[in-house]
Structure 1
Amino acid sequence: MAYKTLLSVATSPDGLLTTVSAAAQIAQAMDAHLDGLALGVDRTQVGYSYVGSGAVVIAAALERAEAEARETEAALNAAIGAQPQALRSSVDSVVTQLGALTDVVAARARYADLVVLPLPYGKGRGIEDEAVTEAALFEGMAPVLIVPPSGMKPGEPKRIVVAWNQSREALVATRRAMPFLRRAEMVQIVVVDPPTHGPERSDPGGLLCQMLVRHGVRAEVCVLARTLPRISEVLARQVRDVDAGLLVMGAYGHSRFREAILGGATRDMLEAAEVPVFLAH
């Protein structure tokens, strides 16, 4: 069981090497192909204008987006060129308006086994970075690996934390992460403040652990009290305590008109991510 098609989407030349290096590491470990997509995003939203001026604004914005796409494509090619020659890869570029970005990314993400993206929040990141992540997760229906600025440790993640809360999203994420989980030396299923009433009240995480062990995963369960204000803070502390190289969790979204946006728990975890975070919805 392995990922065979990886996709990495770039919206700017900044920080590409870290993300591409993580994607290349996974691609080589699993004998996969890495597809790179460079985006030039037209961010103009022309509501009204004087006669003739709208066309000028649109033309200028399109020209700027095309220039950004060429610059990002060159940086993406350079980042891939810095990887070992054995890496199989390809790079495309697309110019799109911000409103159509979801469809563009989703169309590519649906045919990828794993989408590898940079952290969508922080210095130098814009609204299009969060939109790319949401498009891959919610519309593209693909698992997404978010790589923080610190990158991914050399070698496959040897120690992995799985955030478990009995939800559909958490189960989907765990199943989609199986290629990582089966290769890990230790997988810790972390349950924070399990409910006193429910199907798993007597053995939180037990059934999930049983399922993973039957797949050859070296899994164990760790039940933690919520000793910090946010569950994301408890998870982050546990990741540091066990020196994990990967966190697996469900991606939660809320409806905002037609767009799905990352929910509070997911966003909190990503904003403070110190290791790669594997998400699925």
Structure 2
Amino acid sequence: MAYKSLLTVATSPTGLTAPIAAACQIALMADAHLDLLALGVDHTQVGYAYVGSGAVIIATAMDRAEEDARATEKAVNAALAQQSPGVRTAVETAVCQLGTLTDIVATRARYADLVVLQQPYGKGRGVDDEAVIEAALFAGMAPVLVVPDKGMASAEPRRIVVAWNQSREALVAARAALPFLKRADQVSIVVIDPPTHGPERSDPGGLICQMLVRHGVRAEVTVLARTLPRVSDVLARHLRDANADLLVMGAYGHSRLREAILGGATRDMLENAEVPVFLAH
């Protein structure tokens, strides 16, 4: 498997440099094509209004969304102009309402090998950014690479951490990340506080390590105790200690609503990501 079709989605003119630079680096490395979608999103929800005013409100909101789409397209082209001219790219601009954002993103993500997006949480981020990631992961069934504002050091990460908890999502992520894993110098399969009565109790992470090694991955297993309140805290500390370039993990082991309200490893890592995070569900 190789990444031959990449996708980046932008819903605002801000924060585009890091994901577009990373996507272009990967496209050059993999000899891939990069599609960029610039979206103008209408957030209007027409509830109570004077008779006949609803159509006016919608028309005005869509005009504003078209202006936003043009501004985002301009920012996308400006970010592309700073990259190597050898990247094959195509920019598409569209307007949608928030309720149809999932459909338009998912339709394009389904035909992408990898979707490269900006960090969804933080200053200047909004509901659109989180909706785009979830649309690509769930409805689009595509792996997503989330790039922090400081960018991606290299299109070929040398030190990669794979978060392993024996879940379906973690296995899907590890398989989808193989093009990165096979190029890495070191892959650490991290198991945090494995259950004493789980199916891998005698050899935590052993089976996934064996699978990856058979693909030529230089993998080893690291078992960590849960010495901090949250699993994400332990994982973040290990990423710093290992000087990792990339984290690979399954996305949303719990429901998205539960993670949004109570928090979860996926949300915590995306909120505080210091390195790019490769997600799959």
For 1:239, the equivalent position in structure 2 comes to 239
CA contact (8 A) 2:19 2:118 kept: yes
Aligned mates of 1:38, 1:103 — CA distance in 2: 15
In 2, Cα distance between equivalents of 1:49 and 1:168: 47
Answer whether contact 2:22 2:155 (CA < 8 A) is retained: no
RMSD: 1.4
Hey, what does 2:172 align to over in structure 1? 172
Deviations along 1:219-270, whole A, 9 cap, x unmatched? Answer: 00000000111000111111111111000000015165xxx97962210111
Opposite residue 36 of structure 1, the aligned amino acid is L
Give, in whole Å, the separation in 1 of the partners of 2:136 and 2:256: 16
The answer (yes or no) to whether the contact 1:102–1:135 under 8 Å persists in 2 is: yes
Letter in structure 1 aligned against 2:20: V
CA distance in 1, matches of 2:198, 2:272: 31
In structure 2, distance between residues paired with 1:264 and 1:99 = 25
Matching residue of 2:154:
154
CA–CA distance in structure 2, aligned partners of residues 202 and 150 of structure 1: 40
Is residue 134–residue 261 contact of structure 1 (8 Å, CA) maintained in 2?
Answer: no
Match of 1:40 in 2: 40
State the shift of 1:154 in Å: 3.1
Residue 213 in 1 paired to residue 217 in 2?
no
1:1-281 equivalent positions in 2, closer than 5 A:
1-252=1-252, 253-254=254-255, 264-281=264-281
Separation in structure 1 between the aligned mates of residue 158 and residue 4 of structure 2, nearest angstrom:
20
Alignment coverage as a number of residue pairs:
278
**How many angstroms apart in 1 are the aligned matches of 2:154 and 2:147?**
13
**Over residues 147-196 of structure 1, what are the superposed CA-to-partner deviations in whole Å (9 max), with x where a residue is unaligned?**
01111003511000000000000000000000000000000000000000
Moved over 3 A (4+): 260-263
Per-residue CA distance 1:178-217 (angstroms, 9 max, x = gap): 0000000000000000000022101100111011000000
SS in 1 for 2:182: helix
Gaps of 5+ in 2: none
Question: Percent same amino acid at aligned positions?
Answer: 72
SS at match of 1:183: coil
The letter of the residue matching 2:46 is V
Partner Cα distance (2:157, 2:3) in 1? 15
**Do the aligned partners of 1:22 and 1:151 also contact (CA within 8 Å) in 2?**
yes
Q: Deviations over 1:97-135 (max 9, x none)?
A: 000000000000000000000001111111111000000
What secondary structure is seen at the aligned counterpart in 2 of 1:77?
helix
Letter in 2 for 1:75: A
Distance across 1 between alignment mates of 2:150 and 2:229: 25
Give secondary structure in 2 for the equivalent of 1:196: coil
CA distance in 1, matches of 2:113, 2:4: 6
Q: Quick one: distance in 2 between partners of 1:160 and 1:210?
A: 16
Stretches of structure 1 lacking an aligned partner (at least 5 in a row): none
* Superposed CA offset, 1:37-84 (max 9, x none): 000000001122111221221111101000000010111111112111
**Distance in 1 separating the partners of 2:75 and 2:110:** 24
Match of 1:191, SS? strand
**Structure 1 residue matching 2:279: 3-state secondary structure:** strand
TM-score (norm 1): 0.96
CA distance in 2: counterparts of 1:232 and 1:166, whole angstroms: 16
